[in-house]
Amino acid sequence: MYILGIESSCDETSAAIVRMEQDGTRDIRANIVASQIDIHRLYGGVVPEIAGRAHVEAVSRITYEALATAGLTLADLGAVAVTTHPGLIGALLVGVNFAKSMAFARGLPLIPVNHIHAHIASAYLADPTLTPPFLALVVSGGHTSFYQVETETDIREIGGTRDDAAGEAFDKIGRVIGLPYPSGAALDKLAYEGDPHAFSFPSPALAGDTLDFSFSGLKTAALNLLHTAEQRGNPPSPADIAACYTRTIVDGITKKTDAALRLTDARTFVIAGGVAANSHLRRALTSLCDKNGVRFVAPPFALCGDNGAMVAAAGYFGYLAGQRADPSLNASAAD
Ligand code: KG4
Ligand code: ZN
């Protein structure tokens, strides 16, 4: 069946059409992403009110663009899936109301999708042979959490950040060292040019048996180091900061992933979310999995950031599990 996936939880409006079948077919026919990054860059971060308006302007246009790219019409669709939570409420409501109108006007099943579960579902598109159970790490601008994935729709959080997310931590320091928002990808590149041992920062991996993280101490330590050095008229090399900061985050996440693999006895590990595009992190986690004989699955870069295809994929499994929304469907900011 062809599923239309609509995503509008943050700063990308996306509409995708994916063909998913029980025989393992996962065919992304179109995955249109209208990014608002250029608009929000002026403010150094996402402005919720502006995001909502930009989604309104884009959502209908990109849905028809997705149909045209896929060479399909509305009559070919079998279901509509939409991100309902978590995210910016004014942004989510745009996608939810659009998807509701589309589904009820066409008499199509409407499937509500959790944004984090959608990130995990991007892995089914990357590897059609992937089946639960597995351990997943979603690492993005808003989340850094481990999930025990029992079935495609039975997903339980087993640890996560108690404050900032890894993506937020990258973006914050990137901004201070002069990189444009969002700075994750630029910081990834810059980190290759610096000395990863020039400074020592506190690990985001919390001590003890927990699978939880805290990124706020690391962020504050890096900011303090930058401010103090600047006051002394001796600013550190941005490449050294990028390299040390990245090493600290990658080491911390790798350490907790090692613990999570042991705790869950997982044979397969999935990483997803915008920060899953980080080349240093991918390398470290690939090598950790190799060492432990664990299968490593990571989506291609195009499916790491927010996109409609992952929403369609999660929606398909929700559809199979009988999940349906009625016209009272609402969005919610919380997890
Ligand atoms: O999943 P996503 O598109 O949106 C959320 O759901 O948050 O993730 C966006 C985050 C941003 O913080 C961005 O800086 C980060 O992913 N990011 C990266 C890289 N590419 C994107 N962080 C580190 N390294 C990258 N290569
Ligand atoms: Zn996301």
CA angle 219, 223, 225 (to 5 degrees): 120
Starting at the edge strand found earlier in the chain, the sheet holding 295-297 runs 155-160, 144-149, 134-139, 268-272, 295-297
**Among 43-47, 247-251, 256-260, 262-266, where is mean pLDDT lowest?**
43-47
Distance from Cα 47 to the centre of ligand 1, integer Å: 17
| Mean pLDDT across the chain | 97
| Mean pLDDT computed over 82-104 | 98
- Ligand number with the minimum distance to the CA of 173: 1
For residue 108, is pLDDT > 90? yes
What confidence category does residue 112 fall into, taking pLDDT thresholds of 50, 70 and 90? very high
Distance from Cα 184 to the centre of ligand 1, integer Å: 6
CA angle 213, 218, 220 (to 5 degrees): 130
Assigned token pair, 197 = 């041992």
Count CB atoms within 10 A of the CB of residue 251: 17
pLDDT digits (tens, 9 = 90+) for 297-324: 999 999 999 999 999 999 999 999 999 9
Pocket of ligand 1 contains residue 11 by CB under 6 Å = no
Pocket of ligand 1 contains residue 299 by CB under 6 Å = no
Pocket of ligand 1 contains residue 281 by CB under 6 Å = no
Spatial separation of the C-alpha atoms in residues 3 and 152, rounded to whole Å: 16
Spatial separation of the C-alpha atoms in residues 208 and 205, rounded to whole Å: 9
Q: What is the pTM of this model?
A: 0.97
